[in-house]
Amino acid sequence: MVQNALIVELARRRTLFWYRSSQKHALSRVDVRPFRTIKSMSQAQHLRFEPKLLVDHVSPLGPRVTNVRGSLLLASLKLLKESGHYPTYEADLPKEFRDTIVYALAASWLPSAAFVAHYDTVDRLNLSDVQLSRVGEAVGAQILDGLFGSLVRTARNAGAEAGIWIALKQVERIWTRIYQGGGVAVVQTGPKDAIVEVSGLPIAIPTSRFFRISHSAFMRGSVMLVARACFVKPVPARKPHAETFAVSVSWV
């Protein structure tokens, strides 16, 4: 029922997203309408929604992520334990990072290299897309509700129409609580649509299958704390780079 409502809402909007590429100064388009194709430039111009840059944060600690909050790792490990995959995961961890990961504390800062080892190890478990999505959604909801309970309550009270934007405009605050270094940007591309871009990630993370699926699910799980339904998919970044990853987010 909820999925049908999302499809109807996305089809109703029929919005073409445009944003500028700073490298080529050309317009790139991301069409999230699931079943309809734009057939002419005049139709595209008619459906155009002028993008608005809401957040463009680069950490004062530097443009590359150096450390990540332990709570992000522990939330992921908890789900691996509940699903029965943890013994295989632990046995396959690189020796140089095993103690760092196994004995991590929620409030600690772990080196980004440990997270690269974490994502690589989960990739080798060959879990299904559904299993990886479940991990990402649960981690997103747990982290946001746990660290930013007051923000979630404010967003819920405002409703899906305004509440998601309240949360997205605070994404810089969320980022600095989870990552040291790197950056995050939010571009509004429609009334209930946005592109969220993270940058400065270690080069191995954005290419990890676990990261790509779980990060998209992380965003979906976070938005679903307020919205009735949410659709997330990877899109090209404003400045394509091996350490940058962007997703489009739409909700009802």
At residue 121, does pLDDT exceed 50? Answer: yes
At residue 176, does pLDDT exceed 50? Answer: yes
DSSP per-residue codes, 79-146: HHHHTT-HHHHHHHS-HHHHHHHHT--TTSEEEHHHHHHHHHHHHTTT--HHHHHHHHHHHHHHHHHH
- What's the DSSP call for residue 238? S
Question: Confidence band (pLDDT; 50, 70, 90) for 55?
Answer: very high
pLDDT on residue 185: 96
CATH code, residues 51-251:
3.90.1520.10
pLDDT on residue 115: 95
CA dihedral over 38, 190, 179, 149, signed as positive or negative: negative
pLDDT on residue 250: 93
167 compared with 16, residue with greater pLDDT: 167
pLDDT on residue 41: 44
**pLDDT tens digit sequence for 186-205:** 999 999 999 999 999 997 78
Residue 44 class from Cβ within 10 Å (0-12 exposed, 13-18 middle, 19+ buried)? middle
Question: Rounded to 5 degrees, what angle do the CA atoms 192, 41, 20 make?
Answer: 55
pLDDT on residue 122: 96
Question: Tokens 């440990």 identify what position?
Answer: 114
What CA–CA distance (Å, rounded) separates 159 from 170?
16
Interval 42-57 mean pLDDT: 73
DSSP per-residue codes, 161-193: HHHHHHHHTTHHHHHHHHEES-EEEEEEEETTE
Q: How is the chain split into domains, by residue range?
A: 51-251
**pLDDT tens digit sequence for 13-41:** 443 333 333 333 333 333 334 334 444 44
Interval 221-238 mean pLDDT: 87
110 compared with 238, residue with greater pLDDT: 110
**pLDDT tens digit sequence for 122-136:** 999 999 999 999 888
Mean of pLDDT over the chain = 80
Question: Confidence band (pLDDT; 50, 70, 90) for 220?
Answer: confident
Residue 147 class from Cβ within 10 Å (0-12 exposed, 13-18 middle, 19+ buried)? middle
Question: Rounded to 5 degrees, what angle do the CA atoms 96, 125, 87 make?
Answer: 65
Find out whether 252 and 12 touch, Cβ atoms under 8 Å: no
At residue 50, does pLDDT exceed 90? Answer: no
pLDDT on residue 53: 94
pLDDT on residue 161: 67
Is residue 29 helix, strand or coil?
A: strand
